[in-house]
Amino acid sequence: MAETKEKQTYQAVIGLEFHVHLATRTKMFCGCRVTYGDPPNTHTCPVCLGHPGALPVLNEKAIELGAMAGIALNCEVADHAVFARKNYFYPDLPKGYQISQFDEPICVGGHIDVPTSDGTVRVGITRLHLEEDAAKNVHVGESGRMHGSTGSLIDFNRGGTPLMEIVTEPDIPTPEAARATANQLKAILQAIGVSEADMEKGQLRCDANVSIRNLDGSFGTKTELKNMNSFRFVEKGIAAELERQREIIEERGRIEQATMHYDPNKDEVYSLRSKEEAHDYRYFPEPDLLPLELSREWIEDKKNRLPELPAEMKKRFVESYGLSDYDAGVLTADRDLAAFYEEVAENADPKQSANWISGDLRALLNEEGIEISDSKVGPKHMIELISLVETDTVSRSAARTVLEHVFESGDAPSSIVERDGLAQTGGDELDGVVEAVIADNPDEAERVRGGDKKVVGFLVGQIMKATRGNADGGQARERLLEKLGS
Ligand code: ADP
Ligand code: ZN
Ligand code: MG
């Protein structure tokens, strides 16, 4: 898709499907705890193990969180929703069916506005429905995958975890926009607290549907891309799949509907099955659960209790801190970074705070591939650092060095300045240096007194040299000209 001359000919069509664990204490239809990393099969009961005769009891908190997510995604929350059995056989599904929602889901018809480098893209939300997660198959052997394993074990701890499926319209035009959509969705879900949405814990999973538009503008055949375990791989996987489809189209071949997998090591997509079997899940209404009846008051109450969403927070950052759209977008895309920023901005110049956090600090985080919550730099460090620059204790470039040391050690900026002799030469000390430089360079000084500005740079250079770069260039120049009366 990269070649510009082909831009008009090859137009990508992308739709995403997300599965998100809801942040409830217990499972969807039983009292078992939702846990991560506990020993296998320690949180099970007859309901989530699918024993005959065991009856599901709906988790009210899950309904509340699902509705709140729908409201935040600008969906309509239905006043009547129905749980349905989705029937299929797999070892991780002991009942032989998953309780899900089918033709009457809890939420439909929303949208999110996604910031991309080409401007804002509005991505439609087709539906949001509630279901239960399956258990987890653990494949024994080196690969950790079914293919090539020597056996499979099942951990039922995950079975029955409250799950929300969110399906977007095929509105996403580029792999980059797909990644941004996933990021935006995650930020929204985290902001309202309906999910931790930690991909590493499997709390957020994303599949992509990918096709290339036909010449007449109609949709082409789509493939489904599964198992991408980071948003970076979502972007790269879609790009690789579009590339594969483009090559087939250029050779006048036909795209086969298929399920594809992305291999990040090879940066390639591959297909496990050549022909897609048509599923027939034989959905029917779950007879053991009553339909959900949600009153307008109940829905209104959830709406009122919704906290500030990333888009609203961004607007507030622009208005109350005077930030650029870009800085506000970067800071509010990450809930923890936004909270970090606010703490700093309450105690330091808001624009300087944004520059340091969205620029220097974020670059260090990206380099190390860590989150702000795992960093040794706290708001206190940042506030102190900004004040050291503001009071001319350190130059801006020395402050960058100080930040790097804080990032590594978590030490206080002032103690690093002292330890490494990074303090800026100012005040009387700078005056002394300026006078010494004038005395050592009488000819140049005389020329400046006579109005010749060409040698000012040379003299400032001498001052910088004498202070080993620890003076502020602008300040040095100012003092010099003052003393030379020009
Ligand atoms: P299916 O019947 O295969 O489940 P759906 O119409 O339910 O397909 O759509 C599933 C997902 O695929 C949605 O995210 C939707 O936006 C996306 N999608 C639908 N058609 C296309 C297409 N031609 N190209 C890419 N994505 C598509
Ligand atoms: Zn249980
Ligand atoms: Mg579908």
Within a domain: 5: no
- Write down the pLDDT at residue 276: 58
Residues 107 and 256 in one domain: yes
Residues 337 and 319 in one domain: yes
What type of residue sits at position 372?
I
Tens-of-pLDDT digits for all 486 residues of the chain?
444 444 446 899 999 999 999 999 999 999 999 999 999 999 999 999 999 999 999 999 999 999 999 999 999 999 999 999 999 999 999 999 999 999 999 999 999 999 887 888 999 999 999 999 999 999 888 777 777 788 899 999 999 999 999 999 999 999 999 999 999 999 999 999 999 999 999 999 999 999 999 989 999 999 999 978 899 999 999 999 999 999 999 999 999 999 999 999 999 999 976 555 667 899 999 999 999 999 999 999 999 999 999 999 999 999 999 999 889 988 998 888 999 999 999 999 999 999 999 999 999 998 888 889 899 999 999 999 999 999 888 888 889 999 999 999 999 999 998 888 878 777 788 889 999 999 999 999 999 998 888 899 999 999 988 887 778 788 889 889 988 886
Residues 55 and 72 in one domain: yes
Within a domain: 3: no
Distance 54 CA to ligand 2 centre (A): 10
* Nearest-ligand number for the alpha carbon of 171: 1
**Whether 21 contacts 200, CB under 8 Å:** no
Residues 275 and 228 in one domain: yes
Give the separation between CA 313 and CA 397, rounded to whole angstroms.
31
Q: Which residues lie below 8 Å from residue 401, measured CB to CB, with a gap of 6+? A: 420, 422
Residues 439 and 455 in one domain: yes
Distance 79 CA to ligand 3 centre (A): 22
Within a domain: 95: yes
Within a domain: 247: yes
- Write down the pLDDT at residue 6: 45
Helix, strand, or coil (residue 365): helix
Give the separation between CA 261 and CA 243, rounded to whole angstroms.
14
Segment (H or E) for 416: helix 413-420
Total domains in the fold of the chain: 3
Determine the structural domain holding residue 446 and report its residue range.
427-483
Distance 48 CA to ligand 1 centre (A): 31
- 25 closest CA partner among 144, 147, 162, 198: 162
Residues 78 and 201 in one domain: yes
Q: Given the CA of residue 171, which atom of ligand 1 is nearest to it?
A: 16
Distance 226 CA to ligand 1 centre (A): 13
Within a domain: 385: yes
Sort 373 into a burial class: Cβ within 10 Å, 0-12 / 13-18 / 19+: exposed
pTM of the shown model: 0.80
Give the separation between CA 301 and CA 296, rounded to whole angstroms.
8
Query: Domain boundary at 300, 328, 343, which?
Result: 300
Residues 90 and 110 in one domain: yes
The partner residues of 321 in beta bridges, in order of sequence, read none
Distance 167 CA to ligand 2 centre (A): 27
Please give the structure tokens belonging to residue 229.
């375990």
Residue found by looking up tokens 């020329």 in the block: 447
Query: Domain boundary at 300, 331, 354, which?
Result: 300
- Write down the pLDDT at residue 228: 87
* Nearest-ligand number for the alpha carbon of 48: 2
Please give the structure tokens belonging to residue 380.
């206190």
- Write down the pLDDT at residue 348: 96
Provide the 8-state DSSP code for 481: H
Quick count: other Cβ atoms within 10 Å of Cβ 234?
A: 25
Within a domain: 7: no
Q: Given the CA of residue 169, which atom of ligand 1 is nearest to it?
A: 16
Residues 165 and 269 in one domain: yes
- Which residue, judged by its Cα, is nearest atom 7 of ligand 1? 167
Provide the 8-state DSSP code for 141: S
- 243 closest CA partner among 2, 5, 14: 2
* Nearest-ligand number for the alpha carbon of 42: 2
Distance 15 CA to ligand 1 centre (A): 6
Q: Given the CA of residue 17, which atom of ligand 1 is nearest to it?
A: 14
Residues 119 and 206 in one domain: yes
Residues 267 and 314 in one domain: no
Pocket of ligand 1, beta carbon within 6 A = 13-17, 167-170, 209-211, 219, 222
Residues 236 and 188 in one domain: yes
Helix, strand, or coil (residue 346): coil
**Whether 204 contacts 181, CB under 8 Å:** no
Q: Given the CA of residue 167, which atom of ligand 1 is nearest to it?
A: 14
- Write down the pLDDT at residue 380: 97
Helix, strand, or coil (residue 332): helix
What CATH number corresponds to the domain at position 445? 1.10.10.410
HSE-up (13 A, CA, CB side) for residue 211 = 20
Angle at 198 between CA 308 and CA 108, to 5 degrees: 55
Q: CA 56 from chain center: how many Å?
A: 35
Instruction: Tell which one of 86, 209, 245 to mutate to probe ligand 1, the residue whose CB is within 8 A of the most ligand atoms.
Output: 209
DSSP string across 199-217: GGGTSEEEEEEEEE--TTS
Q: Which residues lie below 8 Å from residue 59, measured CB to CB, with a gap of 6+? A: 24, 26, 27, 28, 29, 162
Q: Which residues lie below 8 Å from residue 11, measured CB to CB, with a gap of 6+? A: 173, 212, 213
What type of residue sits at position 453?
K
Distance 189 CA to ligand 1 centre (A): 23
Phi–psi pair at 299, nearest 5 degrees = -65, -45
* Nearest-ligand number for the alpha carbon of 207: 1
Q: Given the CA of residue 220, which atom of ligand 1 is nearest to it?
A: 23
Within a domain: 124: yes
Residues 67 and 164 in one domain: yes
Within a domain: 228: yes
Provide the 8-state DSSP code for 361: I
Distance 94 CA to ligand 2 centre (A): 12
Instruction: Tell which one of 13, 222, 255 to mutate to probe ligand 1, the residue whose CB is within 8 A of the most ligand atoms.
Output: 222
* Nearest-ligand number for the alpha carbon of 178: 1
Distance 291 CA to ligand 2 centre (A): 21
Residue 101 CA: distances (Å) to CA of 157, 458, 461? 22, 76, 72
Query: Domain boundary at 300, 330, 361, which?
Result: 300
Q: CA 277 from chain center: how many Å?
A: 34
